[in-house]
Amino acid sequence: MIKGMFTSSSMAYPCQISKELEQYVVTNAPPTVYYIPDFITEVEEQYLLQEVYKAPKPKWTQLSGRRLQNWGGLPRPKGMLAEKLPDWLLKYTNRISDLGAFNGKAANHVLVNEYKPGEGIMPHEDGPLYHPTVTTISLGSHALLDFYRPIGQCGTEGPRDEESRCLLSLLLRPRSLLILREEMYERLLHGIRNDWEDTLTERVANLSSASAQPGGVLTRGTRVSLTIRHVPKVICANLLLGRKKC
């Protein structure tokens, strides 16, 4: 990690993604993937895990195959009734906003996902409720994130089965930051298979920056991810209550 690069926090956020991030672009993937190993330290990782597991039980939503915490409000087509992010998350969301990841806006939404070995997430798009950039900090264990062409993109004759639609994968090591934008966000679906281990192949586009080799097999532990985004359409609670200040 470059010292001092990811530490400042300011009121106004850069409108352009930081030039210093160029060295982290994954060049053999469609535009644009930034993979930043060791974005946080081991001490910060432990701190974030402690805070995640401090949350009261009702903060967790159990889904089939993973559980999650939602912070910042529930994004809806009419707007998100915004809730202030807790300080332990704000420190990191501000660091990412400071990189210009959200075109001058501040991240205001965090989804915490917990995956036990054998769990994953179905291929999906993040959709139009978010600014089209997703940033993810991985904690505790790695993930292999797979990217798929959507069905129908190559015409009705295009491949429909998941395996042949899979274009590439990214290895997300604990403590790394992933930033996806443009085609990687807007055109492709992403998902994590329900497996206990991951075999690395040449299809993993960031093998070298993730210090990995083809043929390597990684056994999964429990992984917690922080998916940090900006929801542009926000409803101000104070305005709803008839107060002047938002």
Alpha helices in the chain (DSSP H): 42-54, 87-97, 162-165, 182-186, 237-240
Asked if 136 interacts with ligand AKG (CB under 6 A), we say yes
Q: Which of 119, 111, 125 is nearest to 196 (CA)?
A: 119
Q: How many residues bind ligand AKG (CB under 6 A)?
A: 10
Span 145-164, contacts to ligand AKG by CB under 6 A: 145
Q: How far is the CB of 192 from ligand AKG (least distance, A)?
A: 6
Span 173-212, contacts to ligand AKG by CB under 6 A: 190
Q: Which two tokens stand for residue 74?
A: 């529930």
CB environment 39-78: b (16+ within 10 A), e (fewer): bbeeeebeebbeebeeeeeeebeeeeebebbebbbebeee
Asked if 111 interacts with ligand AKG (CB under 6 A), we say yes
Q: Which of 121, 171, 179, 188 binds ligand AKG (CB under 6 A)?
A: 121
- Is the Cβ of residue 97 or residue 136 nearer to ligand AKG in the bound state? 136
- Is the Cβ of residue 32 or residue 141 nearer to ligand AKG in the bound state? 141
Q: Which of 177, 211, 172 is nearest to 6 (CA)?
A: 177
Query: What residues contact 20, with CB distance under 8 A and at least 6 apart?
Result: 2, 5
Q: Which of 126, 133, 139, 144 binds ligand AKG (CB under 6 A)?
A: 126
Q: Which of 143, 144, 166, 168 binds ligand AKG (CB under 6 A)?
A: 143
Asked if 227 interacts with ligand AKG (CB under 6 A), we say yes
Q: How far is the CB of 158 from ligand AKG (least distance, A)?
A: 23
Give the integer Cα–Cα distance in Å for 137 and 92.
Answer: 9
Tell me the residue nearest to ligand AKG as measured from the CB: 225
Provide the binding-site residues for ligand AKG, judged by CB under 6 A.
111, 113, 121, 126, 136, 143, 145, 190, 225, 227
